[in-house]
Chain A
Amino acid sequence: MTSALTIERLCKTFGKGPDAVQVLDNANLEVPQGQSLALTGESGSGKSTLLHICAGLEPFDSGKVVLAGHDIADADDHARATLRRGTVGLVFQQFNLVPSLSVAANLSFQARLSGRHDPDFVAELAQRLGIAQLMSRYPEQLSGGQQQRVAIGRCLAARPRLVLADEPTGNLDEATGDAVLDLMMELAAQAGTALLLVTHSTRLASRCNARVHLRAGKLQVPV
């Protein structure tokens, strides 16, 4: 089984001198292709930072991050952008959508960027995410939960190898959250997509294939 994401001895410190905060301290992690992994940890423990590093958004101090066979450390700005466009799908808690584009345009945006646009698939996704009737609206006309679903749809429509999701269901009620997560898992399984999911909810975490906990810069498998 190939690995979608491999992290070895990753270190990351914010700031210098007495103000320095070591967020990651020799962290190791592997997400196999087609598997889902839940990442938990206290607020401020560095979960988002880890995700940003994996997406090539944030530089790191030392260690190794391999994304679908590409070593991030070797990639320049352009190559990282290409990885984000074609290989990784990102879902944040907020600020996911392009404000000037309609829901329809947002949904197909990344798929079109990566050249994998399939209108039927997008329509099906919209249907299943319950946003089909919102297609002509603009992001600011949506609730937080609706925006979140559009962002998830946009990410899945591009069929990435790895989905990095930072508390994607934080804005959803429990039932919708469960339904959306079901969909993500199902589609991930179908397409062989790996899933790294940051969540606070132990209930959601328990539904993933595996689970890691971030504490004091180390990643541990909880007992």
Chain B
Amino acid sequence: MTRAALQALLSHWVRSPFQLAMLLAGLALATALWSGVQALNTEARTAYATAESLLGGGNAARLTAPAGQIPESEFARLRRAGWDVSPVVEGRMAMGQTRVTVLGIEPLTAPAGGTSEELVAPDVTDFLAGLGFAHPQTLDEIGPRALDLRPSQAVPVGTVLMDIAQAQALLDKVGFITHLTLAPVQRDGLTPLATLAPDLRLTPPEDGADLAGLTDSFHLNLTAFGLLAFAVGLFIVHSAVGLAFEQRRTMFRTLRALGVPLRHLALLLAAELALFAVLAGVAGLALGYLMAASLLPDVAATLRGLYGAPVPGALQFNPAWAAAGMAMTLAGTALAGAQALWQLWRLPVLAPAQPRAWAHAGMRSLRLQGGVAVVLAITAVILAQTGGGLVTGFALLAAALLAAALIMPLVLAGALALGQALARGPVAQWFWADSRQNLPRLSLALMALLLALATNIGVGTMVSSFRTTFIGWLDLRLVAEVTVTPRTPSEASALQDFLQDHADAVLPTQRMDARLAGQPGQIYAMKDHATFRDSWPLLDAVPQVWDRLAAGEGVLINEQLFRRAGLRPGTAMLDLPELGGVPVLGVYPDYGNPRAQAIIGQDLFRATWPETPISQFALRSETPQALIAVIQDEFGLPSGQITDQAQAKALSMSIFERTFMITGALNVLTLSIAGIALFAALVTLSGMRLVQLAPLWALGLTTRRLAALELARALVLAGLTLLFALPVGLMLAQILLAVINVQAFGWRLPLQLFPADWARLALWAGLAVLAAAVPPAYRLWRYGPNQLLRVFAHEK
């Protein structure tokens, strides 16, 4: 019995291979997008773990000096006093064809448990003699090299690990170290560090390279996109399964009438679905892997550029990832197929198989959907009111999007009813009535299309708003024509003297790490200069902000700090180390910086932290190229230490372009999935529609006219969907800009409208819909008479 029944069930797919292909494609694409995004996330997280475990698993505290570096003698002094500390030298430098972070450690005192220990211990003599380690990708980037470097996956990308003495020599920091790592367990009864070394500051472990925390928001964004694409894919599966169920209704009835028990039939259908899920899941995982591999270089560049997180550009295969992806596919298929199985369960043996009965049931479920949509919309409003937290932000996003998707069929039904009421001729009236009748069958595909279009509009608006705002902001922030980064404090002071006579203005950057309102951040010094007064962008400020800043009467803070700590200019005070509470004078946008930042007047800064070295010079000059040449001649600075404005701008822009390329790629994929969904629905529908169209043909409508009407229907429905998608997309953009971005990055961007983008999207969507609608319409036109006649020929 099982074999015969299964054969009968599967025969449906043999007779409609196209539908099977669509079902599998939808499932495979959904799996691909979801698992692809997960692969990217896993890869990045592995990279963070690598970076943190390199030096004692990220749980070692650090000792740093405000001046930026510590004399080597301090290390010896602390060791003699009994403290278990180890020196580290860290710095950026050009090596081969790239720039790397050189990390110098002292293997004998390095904290136990770090990856470096395992790496170095077997070859400690070679290491002390100059052997270094780097990620294979870093070695490739460096190219031919003079140093003895060995490949190792345990070293973060972009870092070269070597002995401290060699690093000091390479970085021109002989006699200095960057920081001291403090072993987690220390002997009892030691002289406290505060007495022993009052100048050194203790940074708790979590303030250090907490890359996972910093980049969480980025990954959450990716995950949200993956989930959305997965949901769109499930819409396809759901509609394909539903349609196949609809078409096999008679078969189910016959099978049951012939004595196949209901439970048995349900089990067979579930097994059939599971088989499809496994087949599509495997294909989807392969696709997802390919997708992730091709996107990883961009993701890696973004993470490196935006957060300094070392992520390699090549993907590893991870079996746990594959298993999780497969589980997601199975769960998704179960979810998508549940309704069909439930319907089968409740199907009376003699249920009518007429199209409108089904449509009526469809209308009932549309109303149910409307109810759910209203509940979701209310939830969204409540979430928007209460606010707070990135997860709440995403919940708001999901609730709002889902509410819009669920309510859309009702809106469409209303629009079609209006069309019917306004229609004059009999054919026009039929056109609208018939579109309404077939709406339930198309609504899932249209919802998928809506989600894809709204995401496109929403994300597109966010990206374009961001780009416009960001470019304007860069122009204001990067007014200095040239920036120079000195390699050592002595070079800094030499540069200072030299530049006075060569540049129109010298604006030195001094900064120090500090906790601001409880968050890790930095304090900058700002010289009182027309450059800043004229162009430094401010979101909000007290009157005479620049005079008061120059007079040392207060502090400017970045938007991130302003939003997280709720510090309003004019009323709020910010606690600064040494200075205590300082009035907040203004807030400035600081896009792309994940941390808190504060600016005080240069005089106040120098009086408070006199030993802080100058980390960079911003230079004004009418002849920047000549200035660069002069500095290079005089100081022999490598090109990486001198940047002209155009270069800096291009660099910043390229980081953001790559970030948004990822979302762009996901956008395109989501839209194509929706296109496929529509295609699948239209093709499946066209087979079922013959019975509906045959009477019209017999009544004297040519197949050409019928085909044209079918095409028009698809375009009308897609057009209405696009119209509906526009406000939904803008709502999405507003949530992204005003809620998600604020929560994730700490800045809010003004919503800007880009109608040209919408027109382009409408064009693409129109083409996608035409591509989906033309083949079935063409078939109706060309082969219609034969097929339509069959309806009447087989009537008995």
Contacts and interface: CB of A to CB of B under 8 A. Distances in A.
Interface in A55-72: 55, 57-58
Nearest to A139: B356
A95 B356 contact: no
Contact of A92 (B429, B702, B792): B792
Given A48-B792, A57-B698, A105 B429 contact: yes
Interface centre among B791, B792, B795 (most CB of A within 10 A): B792
A55 B789 CA distance: 11
A77 B795 contact: no
Contacts of B20: none
B701 A81 contact: yes
Interface in A195-214: none
Q: What does DSSP make chain A's interface, helix, strand, loop or mixed?
A: helix
Given A55-B698, A77-B702, A113-B699, A99 B354 contact: yes
A82 B700 contact: yes
Given A99-B692, A105-B429, A52 B792 contact: yes
Interface in B412-434: 425-427, 429-430, 433-434
A48 B700 contact: no
A123 B245 CA distance: 41
Contacts of A86: 700
A215 B437 CA distance: 43
A90 interface: yes
A102 to B, nearest CB: 8
Given A81-B700, A140-B357, A112 B426 contact: yes
B793 interface: yes
B785 interface: yes
For chain B, give the interface size range.
Answer: 35 or more
A90 B699 contact: yes
Contacts of A96: 695
Contacts of A55: 698
A70 B356 CA distance: 38
A191 interface: no
B696 interface: yes
B168 interface: no
Among all A-B residue pairs, the 4 with the closest Cβ atoms: A85-B700, A84-B700, A112-B426, A100-B437
B433 A100 contact: yes
A95 B699 contact: no
Nearest to B432: A100
B606 interface: no
A38 interface: no
Contacts of A13: none
B700 A140 contact: no
B419 to A, nearest CB: 13
Interface in B314-370: 352, 354-357
Interface of B: 352, 354-357, 425-427, 429-430, 433-434, 436-438, 691-692, 694-705, 785, 788-789, 791-793, 795-796
A99 B356 CA distance: 7
A200 to B, nearest CB: 11
B692 A58 contact: no
B700 A100 contact: no
Given A57-B789, A92-B698, 6 more contacts: A81-B700, A98-B695, A99-B691, A100-B433, A110-B700, A140-B356
A81 B781 CA distance: 14
A84 to B, nearest CB: 4
21 contacts: A49-B793, A78-B704, A81-B701, A84-B699, A85-B700, A86-B700, A92-B792, A95-B695, A96-B695, A98-B430, A98-B434, A98-B696, A99-B691, A100-B356, A100-B433, A101-B430, A108-B426, A109-B430, A112-B425, A140-B356, A140-B357
Nearest to A109: B426
Contacts of A126: none
Interface centre among B355, B699, B785 (most CB of A within 10 A): B699
Contacts of B702: 77-78, 81
B694 A100 contact: no
Interface string A168-179: 000000000000
Contacts of B698: 55, 57, 84, 90, 92
Nearest to A88: B700
Contacts of A78: 702, 704
A113 B355 CA distance: 24
A83 interface: yes
A154 B437 CA distance: 21
B430 A58 contact: no
A68 B335 CA distance: 60
Interface centre among A48, A55, A100 (most CB of B within 10 A): A100
Interface centre among B437, B696, B702, B791 (most CB of A within 10 A): B702
A113 B426 CA distance: 6
Contacts of B357: 140
A83 B699 CA distance: 9
A87 to B, nearest CB: 9
Nearest to A96: B695
A93 interface: yes
A97 interface: yes
A82 B438 CA distance: 27
B692 A100 contact: yes
A100 B426 contact: no
Nearest to B437: A100
Given A57-B785, A57-B792, A113 B700 contact: yes
Contacts of B436: 100
A187 B520 CA distance: 94
A114 B436 CA distance: 25
Interface in A111-168: 112-114, 138-140
A78 B703 CA distance: 9
B355 A140 contact: yes
B356 to A, nearest CB: 4
Nearest to A167: B796
Nearest to A86: B700
Contact of B355 (A92, A99, A110): A99
A54 B246 CA distance: 35
Contacts of A57: 697-698, 785, 788-789, 792
Contact of B791 (A85, A95, A101, A110): A95
Nearest to B690: A95
Interface centre among B357, B425, B700, B704 (most CB of A within 10 A): B700
B793 A113 contact: no
B437 A140 contact: no
Nearest to B793: A48
Contacts of A138: 356
Nearest to A155: B699
A100 B427 CA distance: 12
B724 to A, nearest CB: 23
Contact of B427 (A58, A94, A113, A139): A113
B789 A58 contact: yes
Contacts of B691: 95, 99
Contacts of A48: 792-793
A24 B696 CA distance: 27
A108 B356 CA distance: 20
Contacts of B430: 98, 100-101, 105, 109
B106 to A, nearest CB: 83
A83 B696 contact: no
Nearest to B692: A99
A81 B788 CA distance: 14
A139 B691 CA distance: 13
B356 A110 contact: no
A58 B694 CA distance: 13
